[in-house]
Amino acid sequence: MSKSRKLLVDLGIAFLASAFTAALCYPISFAIGYQTVGLIFLIVIAGLSLFLGRSALIFAAILSFAVWNFLFITPLYTFRVHHLHDLIALVANLSVAIVGSTLISRIRKSQLSLRKSQEQLSLLYGFLESLNNAVSIKDVVRRAGEFMKRQFDAEIVIYLKEKEGEALSPIPFGNGTLHSDQAFTDACTGFAKDHQEPTRSLIPSASGLTYFSLKEPRKKFGILGAIVPEDVRKDAERSVLLHSCIRQIAASLEREISIDQAKEKEILVESEKLFRTILNSVSHEIKTPIAIISAAVSSLADERTSANQDLRNQIIRELELASERLNHLVENILEMSRIESGVLRMNFHYCDIADVIGTLVNSLKQEWREHQVKLDIREDLPLIRADIGLLTQALTNVVRNAIAYTPPGSEIRIDALQGPQGGVEIRVLDLGQGIPDYAIPRVFEKFYRVPGTKPGGTGLGLTIVKAIIDAHRGSLSLRNQPGAGLLVQIFLSKNPEDPHGTESL
């Protein structure tokens, strides 16, 4: 209802109330007295002040003043007043009616304003709580877009500043349908201006969007474009609420940007630390086989060595071991990079675990010539679906660890038996010193080495083993055996859940 129409309705109610009061009191005025009638008029005006506006109340007070004088105060049916006390009563009645109704009207308006303020505060609090639960910039924009659509029927698009430089990034957040060349041009123009608060007039730009600066305390970091309905632009209270909501959006976006920047710095620090760790570890590991290869080549170049066939054969074996060690190191680093980058592809085929272990035994023949290897592979084992190459590499890393950290001449057992739910269990037991209990939970971490162990190794072997076994939907556990060394148990299911035959980590 428009203001003019509401005023006419209020005036009509005031007129009817005064007329009804006069008609009700006129027949009994001689019994109750005209002074009582004046009090009744005051009570009616006080009641009208609870729901009528100020103009209508003043009209009702003046009308009551006139009707009371004309119909109830002698001489009747005239506006003349013969007695001073009647004149004082009329003026007092009019003053009380006007002042009282005005005060009551103001109190009512204050209550309405307070109620609206409470509703807006409650609305803003709920909106702020929703934004605080956001976990990313996209999540903040999504929640903000849903709120703006629900409360103002407004659509928004947000452009943020590029990470490097002061220009806006052309990548839109929010309602992508609002993005256009013209919209982005207007956004860049608005962002480049050193304007203060978002325009209070809410005038749309050439693209039809109204733009609002997104600011942190010291500088702007983006701009928000919105299609604001006309009724919101014309309503002062809703406009103020709109600007308050946009300030909350800006604060939440600034928070998420700061979190992302902190994460990037943390990742950079961790990357530098990781790089130094890799460099130190790999450089140390590479030196040994390179030194062996270099010394062997020099020996082979010597005529006395080349003439001795036994010595040549020994040098060749050392070259083979050094090249295998170097190849194993490179394979571990490459495999770890594939796992970390998420591009490790699984190629599942049915295979016999006995064949996998046989391939492993043959490939490590030179490395465990100083150890006693015992195999116990059950004949009734089921075929399992696995990536044969990756599974062989995982088992190779486990056995190489056993060879590296057990004394020469000690025994290493490799058992394969029926596992739970039709799968296969593989056990590798050595007779070394085992691993301290406090270190067992950490041996699968990248580059972790048990304190006090002999030099050598990159700390990647068991990390790669766990990643490969996890990719096979299997499980891996380590525990120290009383009176023995370390027992590594690998459980593989018969058919990993992989409907397409390939899987990415």
Q: Quick check: 29 and 67 in contact, CB under 8 A?
A: no
| Sheet with 372-377, edge to edge strand ranges | 372-377, 411-418, 424-430, 486-492, 475-480
Whose CA is closest to 253, among 153, 174, 179? Answer: 174
* Rounded CA separation 159/280 (Å): 43
For the CA atoms of 156, 244, 143, 223, the dihedral, rounded to the nearest 10 degrees, stands at 40
Cβ within 8 Å of residue 476, ≥6 positions away:
444, 465, 466, 469, 470, 488, 489, 490, 491
Residues of the chain with CATH 3.30.565.10: 346-492
> Strand pairing partners for 158?
173, 224
User: Which pair of structure tokens corresponds to residue 406?
Assistant: 């057990």
Per-residue burial over 393-415, b if 16 or more Cβ lie within 10 Å, else e, is bbbbbbbbbbbebbeeeeebbbb
**Kind of pairing, strands 486-492 and 411-418?**
unpaired
CATH of 346-492, one of 2.102.10.10, 3.30.565.10, 3.30.420.40, 3.90.1300.10: 3.30.565.10
- Cα radius of gyration rounded to whole Å, the chain: 44
Name the token pair of 164. Answer: 């490097």
Full-model pTM: 0.51
Q: What angle do CA 107, 112, 113 make, to 5 degrees?
A: 95
- Tell me which amino acid residue 58 is: I
Coil vs helix vs strand at 276: helix
Q: Judge contact between 104 and 56, C-beta under 8 A.
A: no
Supply the pLDDT for residue 139: 92
DSSP state of 206: T
**What φ, ψ does residue 322 adopt, rounded to 5°?**
-65, -40
Q: Tell me whether strands 210-215 and 155-161 are parallel, antiparallel or unpaired.
A: unpaired
Domain 134-256 of CATH type 1.10.510.10: no
Q: Where do you find CATH 3.30.450.40 in the chain?
A: 134-256
Residue 366 neighbours by CB distance under 10 Å:
10
pLDDT in tens, the chain (505 residues): 567 888 888 888 888 988 898 888 888 888 888 888 888 888 888 888 777 877 888 888 888 888 888 888 888 888 887 888 778 887 887 888 788 777 877 887 888 888 888 888 888 899 899 999 998 999 999 999 999 999 889 999 999 988 877 888 888 998 888 888 888 888 888 888 744 444 444 556 666 788 888 887 767 888 998 988 888 888 888 888 888 899 899 999 989 988 888 888 887 776 666 556 555 555 655 666 677 777 777 776 666 666 677 777 777 777 777 776 677 667 666 655 655 555 556 778 888 999 988 888 888 877 777 888 889 988 888 888 888 888 888 888 888 888 888 888 888 899 999 887 778 999 999 888 888 888 888 877 776 777 766 655 566 678 778 888 888 888 988 888 887 788 999 999 877 654 334 443 4
